[in-house]
Amino acid sequence: MRITEEKTLYSQKWALLKEARFLDTHGEEHSWTFIERTNNQKAVVIVPITEVSKSLILIRQFRVPFAREVLEFPAGLVDQGESAEQTAVRELLEETGYRGVIEQVGPEVSTSAGITTETVTMVHMRVEEEPSSTQNLEGAERIEVLKVPAAEQGAFLDQMIDEGLILDAKVYVYLQEHRGG
């Protein structure tokens, strides 16, 4: 496979709609449309666990593409000159009011390789039992913070599925792997 041409079809503040023309393994030409973050901006996803009770902090956020709420980990875009770690601390505080200590930083991973070039860095943080400040949300954000005790994560997942809530794949996998604490 070989990319022969790439062009931007549409550009806006946060994302580009792009088309790549490529030759397949038989030498036939095809095109593929995908989304790229403007300036290939990176993102972080934060996995916050409380220090004492080992509760998971999640967010329920209204997402325009679905026109409804999605269950997610706190996350955000890495600003110019900022590290993934700095972004994680900033975004966690802004979205949830929680402060924490970074325990592990993963590699950049793809979010949905068939439709976007976006990568995220997973940052695991140990956080206080309660938020230390109020959320500092942007006008386009509507976020509810959820604290899910370790022993209740399996039942919580089942409840969210029964409610028909859209689950971010990373949250689903985490909760499936941590059923029952």
pLDDT digits (tens, 9 = 90+) for 51-96: 999 999 999 999 999 999 999 999 999 999 999 999 999 999 999 9
> Going from the N-terminus, what domains does the chain have, and what CATH number goes with each?
2-38 (no CATH), 41-177 (3.90.79.10)
Q: Would you mind telling me the total number of residues written for the chain in this entry?
A: 181
Compute the distance between CA of residue 47 and CA of residue 102 in angstroms, rounded to an integer.
10
Average pLDDT, the chain: 94
What residue ranges in 38-179 does DSSP mark as E strands? 43-50, 56-63, 68-72, 75-77, 100-110, 119-127, 143-148, 166-167
Residue 111 has pLDDT above 80, yes or no: yes
